Amino acid sequence: MNISDFVWVFFQQVIKNNDNNPTKLSVLMYAYFQMLYNFITFFNLELKPSLDRVDVFPSYEESRKCIHTHYSEKKRRKLRENFLFIGHTSFLSKLYGPPINSLRDFGIRPVNIQTSFLQKLVDWSISHITRKKEELIRSGFSTKNSTGLPADYTGSRDTSTNWIQLVTPTGVERGLNSLPKINPDLPSTYRIQNFLGKEFYQNVGFAVNPEKEIIDLSSKISTSWENGLDREMEKLLGVYKNLDDTKKVIAEFFAGSSKGTLPPPGFFICIALQLAQKYKQNLEDDIKMLFVLGCGIFDAAVSAWYYKAKFNQARPISLIRNNLTNQKINSWTPITPTGEILGREWLPYQEFTFVTPPFPDVASGHTVFSRVAGKLLDWWFRKPLLYDGFSCVTIPNVGLMCPLLNSADKLYCLGEYFFEKGSSLIEPGKTPKERMVLRFQTLEELYLAAGLSRVYGGIHSFQTNQVSAELADWVYEKTKRNLQIQFHFNPPH
- What are the residue ranges spanned by the domains of the chain? 3-138, 210-487
Cβ within 8 Å of residue 73, ≥6 positions away: none
Q: How far apart are CA 361 and CA 363, in angstroms?
A: 6
Q: How far apart are CA 70 and CA 398, in angstroms?
A: 43
Integer CA distances (angstroms), 317 to 410, 424, 455, in order: 38, 21, 12
Using CB atoms within 10 A of its CB, is residue 106 exposed (0-12), middle (13-18) or buried (19+)? middle
| pLDDT at res. 44 | 92
Grouped pLDDT means (10 residues each) for the chain, 493 residues: 93 91 91 92 90 78 86 90 91 86 90 74 76 57 42 52 84 84 84 84 91 95 95 97 95 88 96 96 97 97 95 92 91 80 90 89 97 98 94 87 79 92 94 96 98 97 98 98 95 89
Q: How far apart are CA 311 and CA 306, in angstroms?
A: 9
Tell me how many degrees the CA angle 349-372-306 measures, rounded to the nearest 5: 75
What fold is seen in the domain 210-487?
Answer: Vanadium-containing Chloroperoxidase; domain 2 (1.10.606)
Dihedral (CA of 273, 277, 278, 284) sign: positive
pTM of this prediction exceeds 0.75: yes
Q: Dump pLDDT digits (tens) for 400-447.
A: 899 888 766 678 899 999 999 999 999 999 999 999 999 999 999 999
Most distant CA pair in the chain: distance in Å?
79
| pLDDT at res. 221 | 96
- The backbone torsions φ and ψ at residue 342, rounded to the nearest 5 degrees and listed phi first, read -85, 150
DSSP tag of 339: -
Integer CA distances (angstroms), 440 to 59, 243, 272, 378, 392, in order: 48, 21, 14, 14, 14
List the beta strands (DSSP E) in 154-271: 167-169, 173-174, 180-181, 190-192
CA 313 to chain centre: 21
The three-class DSSP label of residue 173 is: strand
Cβ within 8 Å of residue 268, ≥6 positions away: 293, 297, 369, 370, 373, 374, 377, 447
| pLDDT at res. 137 | 53
| pLDDT at res. 123 | 81
Using CB atoms within 10 A of its CB, is residue 335 exposed (0-12), middle (13-18) or buried (19+)? exposed
Of 91, 151, 444, 141, the residue nearest 308 (C-alpha) = 141
Integer CA distances (angstroms), 215 to 96, 218, 468, 469, 485, in order: 37, 9, 11, 12, 21
Q: How far apart are CA 51 and CA 34, in angstroms?
A: 9
- The backbone torsions φ and ψ at residue 191, rounded to the nearest 5 degrees and listed phi first, read -135, 150
The three-class DSSP label of residue 340 is: strand
Q: Residue 254 is which amino acid?
A: F
For the chain, first and last CA: distance in Å? 21
| pLDDT at res. 132 | 64
